[in-house]
């Protein structure tokens, strides 16, 4: 796991410096939830940057050969703070465009029914 700090989000997802479709689906679902949380004023853009929408995430995804469409989504989301401060009238439109991008890419993946998506390491 090159370039990832112990315990961070990218460390959790990256295995052998390559993203598989299951991990890409998880990234997209997290991005979708994050963009919805911004849209509904549940979290700030600063908080979203700490979750996923940061240059660090973009670089980690690029270095891990993640789907380029996902990287474009992260790049677009990284611009939200600038849009909000410089062109506030376009902020809601930008949020909706990013959400649409996420849904479009997510819908291209096969339905996931192979195994339990998240494997918990806690005893039940």
Q: Where are the domains of the chain?
A: 17-106
pLDDT band at 18 (very low <50, low <70, confident <90, very high): low
Q: Is residue 13 exposed (0-12), middle (13-18) or buried (19+ Cβ within 10 Å)?
A: buried
Reported pTM: 0.79
Distance between CA atoms of 37 and 48, rounded to whole angstroms?
9
Q: Percent of the chain, pLDDT > 70?
A: 74
Beta bridge partners of 18: 15
pLDDT (tens digit per residue) in 37-71: 999 999 999 999 999 999 999 999 998 888 999 99
């Amino acid at each position: 796991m090159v370039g990832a700090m112990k315990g961070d989000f990218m460390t959790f997802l990256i295995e052998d410096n390559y993203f598989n479709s299951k991990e890409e689906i998880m990234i997209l679902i997290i991005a979708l939830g994050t963009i919805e949380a911004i849209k509904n004023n549940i979290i700030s853009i600063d908080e979203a940057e700490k979750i996923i929408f940061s240059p660090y995430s973009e670089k980690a995804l690029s270095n891990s050969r993640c789907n380029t469409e996902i990287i474009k989504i992260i790049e677009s989301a990284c611009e939200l703070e600038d849009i909000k401060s410089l062109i506030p009238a376009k902020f809601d439109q930008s949020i909706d465009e990013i959400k649409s991008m996420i849904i479009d890419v997510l819908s291209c993946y096969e339905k996931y029914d192979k195994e339990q998506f998240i494997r918990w390491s806690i005893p039940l």
